[in-house]
Amino acid sequence: MKVLLGMTGSVASVLIPKLAKAFLDAGHDVQIVASEAALYFYRPEKIDKKLKRQQERDPNKLAPAKCWSEVRVWTDEDEWFRSRHVKIVRHFDRYAEQAHQKDDPVLHINLRKWADMFVVAPLSADTLAKMSVGKCDNLLTCVFRAWDFDKPVVLAPAMNSFMWSNPWTNMQMNILSNVKGPNVQGPSGGRNVHFIDPQSKVLACGDEGIGAMADISTIVDVVNGLDETQPKAD
């Protein structure tokens, strides 16, 4: 299955390499979309370096390096700054250095078409709010706004416990939980946005309470379970 993994402005973004590795180990293809705020916590170039160090320590416990070579972190720069001669995507393994042309592909649409499932983990309070009103001001939220809800979305919130317990959070989650895919069958009634609630831990701010992102194993189990019942992208 092709998993598009979104990371947003939460300290839990430091877990992205481990989560991506877990998806690769489970046999999924992975591409990553990062919001600008997520890059405050984790830079894309660190993924390869961290993987290399882990491989040197215990190569038998890691996904093959060739799988990791196909994983890229896509950012807002890839979507909007092409006119400044930033690299543009033509295929996931080939890029062209040139200004934007009329027939150039649109990245958020290409990612939407490529993926079988959109997993946003961690999902910050800010991105949750944007998604609930259809705001699309960055690459990640543009993918979500263009998403085909016949394909599942998995959201794993991570935020301070006060933000998690705020009434706005529940209202916004209810809005998204009721988004339907027109051709989705089964007891869900067409609903195809799935939340994985955060867990109780000592948070990065020092407070103890509910707000830490769910365990990686839990997220992977949910994705694998949905994979068994979902059609694949063309």
Q: How many CA atoms lie within 13 A of 88 on its CB side?
A: 20
Flag whether 16 is in a domain: yes
Flag whether 106 is in a domain: no
Per-residue model confidence as pLDDT tens digits over 111-126: 999 999 999 999 999 9
User: What H or E segment, with its residue span, contains residue 208?
Assistant: strand 208-212
Q: In the 8-state DSSP scheme, what is residue 155?
A: E
Q: In the 8-state DSSP scheme, what is residue 191?
A: B
Peptide bond just before 122 cis, omega within 30 deg? yes
pLDDT class for 87, splitting at 50, 70, 90? very low
Per-residue model confidence as pLDDT tens digits over 128-162: 999 999 999 999 999 999 999 999 999 999 999 99
Q: Which amino acid is at 203?
A: L
Strand, coil or helix: 14: helix
Instruction: Please provide residue 63's backbone torsions phi and psi, each rounded to the nearest 5 degrees.
Output: -65, 155
Flag whether 55 is in a domain: yes
Flag whether 78 is in a domain: no
Per-residue model confidence as pLDDT tens digits over 7-64: 999 888 889 989 998 999 999 999 999 999 998 887 776 665 655 555 455 544 444 4
Flag whether 89 is in a domain: no
Q: In the 8-state DSSP scheme, what is residue 62?
A: S
The pLDDT score that the predictor gives to residue 126 is 96
The pLDDT score that the predictor gives to residue 49 is 61
Strand, coil or helix: 170: helix
The pLDDT score that the predictor gives to residue 146 is 96
Flag whether 83 is in a domain: no
Q: What is the Cα–Cα distance from 174 to 216, expressed in whole angstroms?
A: 24
Q: What is the Cα–Cα distance from 176 to 82, expressed in whole angstroms?
A: 32
pLDDT class for 83, splitting at 50, 70, 90? very low
- Can you count the helices (H) and strands (E) in the chain? 10, 10
How many domains is the chain partitioned into structurally?
A: 1
The pLDDT score that the predictor gives to residue 26 is 93
Q: Which distant-in-sequence residues (6+ apart) come within 8 Å of 8 by Cβ? A: 35, 37, 38, 120, 122, 123, 124, 126, 127, 140
Q: Are 47 and 6 in contact (CB under 8 A)?
A: no
Q: What is the mean pLDDT of the chain?
A: 81
Flag whether 161 is in a domain: yes
Catalytic pick from 67, 136, 142, 205?
205
- The pTM (predicted TM-score) of the whole model is 0.82
What's the domain range around 8?
A: 2-71+111-227
Axis-axis angle for helices 16-25, 216-227 (nearest 10): 40
Residue 136 falls in the annotated catalytic set:
no
Q: Which of 38, 193, 55, 188 is nearest to 122 (CA)?
A: 38
Rounded mean pLDDT of 184-195? 80
Which tokens go with 79?
Answer: 């979507």
Flag whether 38 is in a domain: yes
Which tokens go with 65?
Answer: 């390096």
pLDDT over 60 (residue 98): no
Give the CATH number of the domain where residue 168 resides. Answer: 3.40.50.1950
Which residue intervals of the chain are DSSP H helices? 16-25, 45-57, 65-68, 76-80, 107-114, 125-133, 139-145, 161-165, 167-177, 216-227
* Sign of the four-CA dihedral 23, 27, 28, 29: positive
